[in-house]
Chains A and B, each alone.
Chain A
């Protein structure tokens, strides 16, 4: 589904990402871990064509992302709060994203009904604008918005950060459910080794912009990662 060719990103002389090759097959749940500055968000931003690559390119379903925009209809993402529109209520935001992805109100209402547990009564019908929600609640909105419109590629940057324990557990089961679908490729980055090992079939470790480990998740994976990061 996703293919990376000799991708690199430089700011001045500093190389922040250098990936010779990476292939993520369709339907895989893919985890990206690494310390701050390892290049996780840079990679996702490149994947979404939010920043131009210095060299190389990424293909999403055989569409080169920095050349064509045809990847947009089947790709969704939540990177950070800059993906939210502060002056809308959560409902309005969902409907807006829905319209961009060709879903009407009824479709969205149907989808949102599945996430009632996840929202925990703090999102819908609160008469609050997104800018006035807490960080955690904003995140919930952004994550659920990325499920709108049956995407084939879902990109979530640090989805577990800022969430309360109950929500983290619920999110894990949501992601697992999503990943279980044959046609959906999920890409997740996280600082929390435990969470990624629980939900991802494959984990790639980035260190200073380079891939240093590429692991198929097994029972030993968490140990392996812990030893790696312990230095």
Chain B
């Protein structure tokens, strides 16, 4: 039986509609995936030596054990967002001559082969090998490794149990933050609290039965739960959220643009992919912290321009690059209606404008790292408003890939094509290039002035630019329509 299931899985992979299409993106994704795994593997291999150097007084095994609690929580956190138990595709099996237990075992069994379970293996296998060559006892190390893998599997199955509940997510987030907070402010060392537990798995190797038993328990709970809901109106049913009609009457003041603005706002709030995009964009405000806090970058205005363009323009990039593919599902309706294409585009431009302003306001606290940073961010925001908005709208007319709105954006390359990568060149590259040239040839002030001047110029000619864009959309209409019709493109 299990062989049949594997055969089915194999077919579904190679025959999926998107297989073979957009090979470039697939290769890119595969490359990124391999890169991630390779980095983790490298980290695992180097970990022993790093720890020896950083904390020479403690055994690396002990230090690793200290941090494992965070590893486990972080892994659960990532899984919560990115890993779902795929159940829908087993619908056709339900009425066939296969017992439910087998189906459930199949669903749960195949989740073991998820890429998420590789993370721990890839990191800790090299680490264990290094540790073994350093003369640590083999039984202890190997069984410790086995325990870690069992723990990974535990979080695999735990995730499926808690995945549907927002409360579980809240608890997870609070735990992670409060642990970190307690640690940071030196109130309580969570590391020291949990270290003996994880170290115990190494010191008393046969403790691996504990995670093993936990795994069996979690598997059993999953099994029982899934078997109970394996009905069309149970797990196999898509979630239906009660709709809340909203009026958004305040948009009326935008006149002819109002219906589109309302539509765009609803588009963003009522669809998973767009909504997550907003949250991600907001989170990117913290991106600056990584660089501003480092001495190396303190006197590198070019880096600051990159950050400025990036942080104030993150929503512009994330949302803008897929215009009008967001409306791809009903683009044929839009095109058969009596709509002023111009207003449609203006509405999108307004949304992005607001986002740029908001993102700029959020970056103001970075003044803490010097007033120059705020100046750079102002220049970048103005440049984004004047130049990048028309540019990204213009490139939007090259989009012809459909987007399903209700899918998660994580690792979702739907709607992505070479265009998206090409857009980033003028959007991100050009201002940095301009700034760099003027900064080194003339001065910091001149470089800022040129960005601001270009932005203002673009804004002044906004109407002309939007007219060009509108025309472009009109000429590309049929190509877009045909592209948007292709599902799983």
Contacts and interface: CB of A to CB of B under 8 A. Distances in A.
Contact residues of B: prevailing secondary structure: helix
A100 B259 contact: yes
Contacts of B331: 82
A127 B244 CA distance: 6
B129 interface: no
B481 A77 contact: no
Contacts of A51: 478, 481-482
B96 interface: no
Nearest to B274: A87
Contacts of B478: 50-52
7 contacts: A79-B332, A83-B330, A83-B332, A85-B330, A92-B266, A129-B270, A131-B406
A56 interface: no
A155 B267 CA distance: 27
A48 B405 contact: no
Given A49-B335, A85-B330, A87-B405, 16 more contacts: A51-B481, A51-B482, A73-B338, A75-B336, A82-B330, A83-B330, A83-B336, A85-B263, A85-B333, A86-B406, A92-B266, A96-B263, A101-B338, A127-B244, A128-B242, A128-B243
A82 B336 CA distance: 11
Given A82-B485, A87-B266, A129-B270, A48 B406 contact: no
A99 B336 contact: no
B391 to A, nearest CB: 26
Interface in B289-339: 329-333, 335-339
Interface residues of B, number: 30
Contacts of A132: 240-241, 243
Contacts of B485: 82
Contacts of A75: 336
Interface in A31-83: 48-52, 69, 72-73, 75, 77, 79, 82-83
B258 interface: yes
Interface of A: 48-52, 69, 72-73, 75, 77, 79, 82-89, 91-92, 96-97, 99-101, 126-129, 131-132
Contacts of A48: 332, 335-336
Most B CB within 10 A of own CB, among A50, A75, A96, A101: A50
B271 interface: yes
A140 to B, nearest CB: 16
A231 B258 CA distance: 54
A97 B260 CA distance: 11
Chain A to chain B: the 5 pairs with minimum beta-carbon distance, closest first: A83-B333, A72-B338, A87-B270, A99-B259, A48-B336
A142 to B, nearest CB: 9
Contacts of B259: 96, 99-100
B337 A100 contact: yes
A88 B270 CA distance: 8
Contact of B405 (A69, A86, A89): A86
Given A51-B478, A82-B485, A96-B263, A129 B243 contact: yes
Contacts of B244: 127
Interface in B268-287: 270-271
Contacts of A96: 259, 262-263
Nearest to A125: B245
A49 to B, nearest CB: 7
A50 B338 contact: no
A128 B244 CA distance: 8
Contacts of A52: 478
Nearest to A145: B333
Given A89-B245, A127-B243, A72 B337 contact: yes
A50 B481 contact: yes
Interface string B396-413: 000000000110000000
Nearest to A72: B338
A97 B243 contact: no
Contact of A84 (B242, B262, B333, B482): B333
A45 to B, nearest CB: 8
Nearest to A132: B240
A5 to B, nearest CB: 19
Nearest to A44: B336
A30 B331 CA distance: 26
Contacts of A50: 332, 335-336, 478, 481
B258 A99 contact: yes
Contacts of B270: 87, 129
A115 to B, nearest CB: 18
B39 to A, nearest CB: 38
A79 B337 CA distance: 13
B348 to A, nearest CB: 16
A87 B336 contact: no
B337 A97 contact: yes
B342 to A, nearest CB: 12
